[in-house]
């Protein structure tokens, strides 16, 4: 995926990266993020640490406090994916992202001499094309140092902004923040110290000193199932204000998190085969016993309502009890989700070319891990149609980048003025693009053609 080269099937985004004066910016790294036509998260090129993508954690389950010593366990290494090759703008600031599945995307450009830039949202048909222009602004710099309460330099302190690591302190505790666009909140972290947050204004803070307090607390514990057996691979987090610590339980179910502040901490434990457990009042120094309940399990099948076949590209999620669990789906349309909270839940099924469907169910509580407590759920998906066409200006030329809306769905016209909206419920739909409005009849499994001309 670079500028030029052989054409590949799929959607394409071409564009240019320029500075505020309109001059090309070579060597800017390019990434497109958003969601594919099925609603699944999409990032191109792939993220460097895909295997460590954080799962969403929501509170549920039960937890107890166990008084008494638990040995500090060594944390086992997590697997990581190899980094993807970065994509960068060429010598004249141009780039091409090809073989994309389509969907809703935003192009992000980064360069060491500029503030990160973003395009407007792009709505791409599966084989559509779009042209974008991303403008990068030069940022301001702030220099400073990080010290402890005694005034000693802290080497290797991390400075974070908006969830991104932006700088380290050197051996003398010095740092240099670049590419700041204005006042920004920066968080400073260092091993053995409590994190601190500070709003930094480049127009005022040309030379500043940040101080960190020591953090000597530690929380350790064990994660077990309802039988008291250890649960390995549970992700345990502790949070309090700016502090966030994390560990993974080892094969004995044990974990430890150091550097915790004094006072109350919120602990959560997440595992793929159990509902999430939470406790809002853990204290530094506590030995904690986390009990993961077996939860509930559901399985069933999803079928094309007309043919009875399994829709390709099927995705099923289970939402309930403050959690969203992704079900495992086979090519035959069978799905299974384990470790769901018991009680009311909604199953959501989606597939490319089909209208989304949902089913409300009641999930019985299980008695053991990996137990399926509700079986034979069937969800029928109805195929939708598609609206395809083009947008023209008053003179008949292709209108590029125009938002097109029909039946609550949106698309944006590509470089040739073309667009595609799918899936759309069968029936008469009103299509709007700026000042142009047309009605079209949509049939399941077919493309309805329309041309929109701006007044």
Tell me what the mean pLDDT of segment 10-15 comes to: 92
Q: Is the pLDDT of residue 71 over 60?
A: no
Q: Minimal CA–CA distance to 422: which of 398, 402, 404?
A: 404
pLDDT at position 263: 80
Q: Which of 140-149, 214-223, 321-330, 377-386 shows the lowest mean pLDDT across its residues?
A: 214-223
Q: Do 139 and 180 form a contact (C-beta atoms < 8 A)? A: yes
Tell me the average pLDDT across 53-64: 36
Domain borders along the chain are 11-46+84-136, 140-212, 296-381, 385-453
pLDDT exceeds cutoff 90 at 343:
yes
- The CA angle 194-195-198, to the nearest 5 degrees, is 135
Q: How confident is the model at residue 8 (pLDDT cuts 50, 70, 90)?
A: low
Q: Which residue has the higher pLDDT, 85 or 349?
A: 349
Strands (E), 321-417: 323-326, 328-329, 334-340, 343-350, 357-363, 374-381, 385-392, 403-406, 409-412
Q: Does domain 296-381 have CATH number 3.40.50.620?
A: no
Task: Identify the CATH class of 11-46+84-136.
Answer: mainly beta
Mean pLDDT is lowest, of 48-57, 119-128, 295-304, for 48-57
Q: Looking at mean pLDDT, say which of 45-49, 80-84, 279-283 comes out highest.
A: 279-283
pLDDT at position 381: 96
Determine the average pLDDT of the residues in 12-22. Answer: 92
Better-scored residue on pLDDT, 73 or 109: 109
pLDDT in tens, 360-383: 999 999 988 889 999 999 999 999
Q: How confident is the model at residue 355 (pLDDT cuts 50, 70, 90)?
A: very high
Do residues 39 and 156 touch, judged by C-beta distance below 8 A? no
* pLDDT tens track for 239-285: 988 788 899 999 999 999 988 887 889 999 999 889 999 888 898 88
Using one digit for the tens of pLDDT, what is the confidence trace for 155-213? 999 999 888 888 999 999 999 987 777 788 999 988 778 788 889 888 888 789 999 88
Mean pLDDT throughout 284-293? 89
In this prediction, residue 234 carries a pLDDT of 94
Burial of 29 (0-12, 13-18, 19+ CB in 10 A): middle
Per-residue model confidence (pLDDT) at position 86: 62
Q: Which superfamily, per CATH, for 140-212?
A: Immunoglobulins (2.60.40.10)
Task: For residues 357 and 219, give the distance between their C-alpha atoms in angstroms, rounded to a whole number.
Answer: 44
Claim: this prediction has a pTM higher than 0.85: no
Question: pLDDT band at 46, cuts 50/70/90?
Answer: low
Burial 77-110 (b: 16+ CB within 10 A, else e): eeeeeeeeeebbbbeebbbbbbebbbbbbebbbb
The domain 385-453 is placed in CATH, from the list 3.40.50.10860, 1.20.1250.20, 2.60.40.1120, 3.40.50.970, at 2.60.40.1120
pLDDT, mean over the chain: 85
Residue with the larger pLDDT of the pair 455 and 300 = 300
Q: Measured between alpha carbons, how far is 335 from 361 in angstroms, rounded to an integer?
A: 15
What 3-state DSSP class applies to 50? Answer: helix
> Are domains 11-46+84-136 and 296-381 of this chain identical in fold?
yes
Res. 65: pLDDT tops 70: no
What number is the average pLDDT over the span 330-354? 94
Check: CB of residue 32 under 8 Å from CB of residue 10. Answer: no
pLDDT band at 80 (very low <50, low <70, confident <90, very high): very low
Closest to 167 in 3D by CA, of 200, 143, 148, 194: 143
């Amino acid at each position: 995926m670079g500028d030029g080269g052989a054409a590949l099937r799929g959607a394409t985004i071409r564009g240019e990266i320029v500075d505020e004066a309109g001059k090309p910016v070579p060597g800017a790294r390019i990434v497109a993020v958003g969601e594919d036509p099925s609603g699944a998260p999409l990032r191109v090129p792939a993220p460097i640490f895909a295997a460590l993508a954080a799962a969403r954690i929501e509170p549920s389950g039960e937890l107890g406090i166990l008084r008494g010593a638990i040995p500090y366990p060594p944390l086992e290494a997590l697997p990581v994916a190899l980094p993807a090759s970065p994509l960068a703008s060429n010598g004249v600031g141009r780039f091409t992202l090809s073989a994309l599945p389509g969907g809703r995307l935003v192009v992000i450009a980064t360069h060491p001499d500029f503030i990160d830039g973003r395009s407007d949202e792009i709505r791409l048909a599966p084989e559509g094309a779009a042209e974008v222009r991303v403008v990068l602004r030069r940022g301001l710099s702030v220099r400073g140092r990080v010290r402890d309460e005694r005034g000693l330099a802290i080497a290797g302190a991390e400075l974070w902004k908006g969830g991104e690591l932006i700088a380290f302190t050197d051996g003398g505790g010095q740092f240099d923040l670049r590419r700041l666009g204005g006042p920004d909140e920066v968080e400073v972290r260092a091993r053995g110290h409590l994190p601190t947050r500070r709003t930094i204004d480049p127009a005022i803070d040309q030379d500043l000193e940040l101080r960190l307090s020591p953090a000597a607390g530690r929380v350790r514990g064990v994660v077990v199932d309802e039988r008291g057996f250890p649960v390995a691979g549970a992700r345990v987090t502790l949070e309090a204000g700016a502090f966030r610590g994390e560990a993974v339980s080892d094969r004995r179910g044990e974990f430890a998190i150091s550097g915790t502040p004094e006072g109350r901490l919120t602990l959560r434990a997440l595992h793929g085969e159990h509902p999430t457990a939470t406790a809002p009042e853990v204290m530094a120094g506590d030995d904690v016993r986390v009990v993961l309940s077996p939860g509930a399990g559901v399985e069933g099948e999803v079928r094309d309502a007309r043919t009875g076949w399994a829709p390709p590209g099927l995705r099923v999620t289970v939402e309930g009890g403050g959690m969203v669990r992704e079900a495992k789906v086979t090519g035959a349309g069978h799905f299974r989700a384990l470790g769901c909270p018991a009680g009311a839940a909604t199953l959501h099924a989606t597939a490319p070319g089909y209208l989304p469907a949902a089913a409300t169910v009641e999930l019985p509580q299980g008695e053991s891990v990996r137990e399926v407590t509700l079986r034979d759920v069937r969800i029928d998906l109805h195929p939708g149609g598609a609206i395809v066409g083009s947008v023209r200006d008053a003179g008949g030329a292709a209108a590029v980048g125009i938002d097109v809306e029909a039946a609550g769905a949106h698309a944006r016209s590509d470089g040739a003025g073309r667009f595609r909206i799918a899936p759309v419920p069968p029936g008469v739909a009103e299509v709007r693009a700026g000042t142009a409005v047309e009605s079209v009849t949509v049939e399941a499994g077919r493309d309805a053609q329309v041309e929109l001309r701006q007044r």
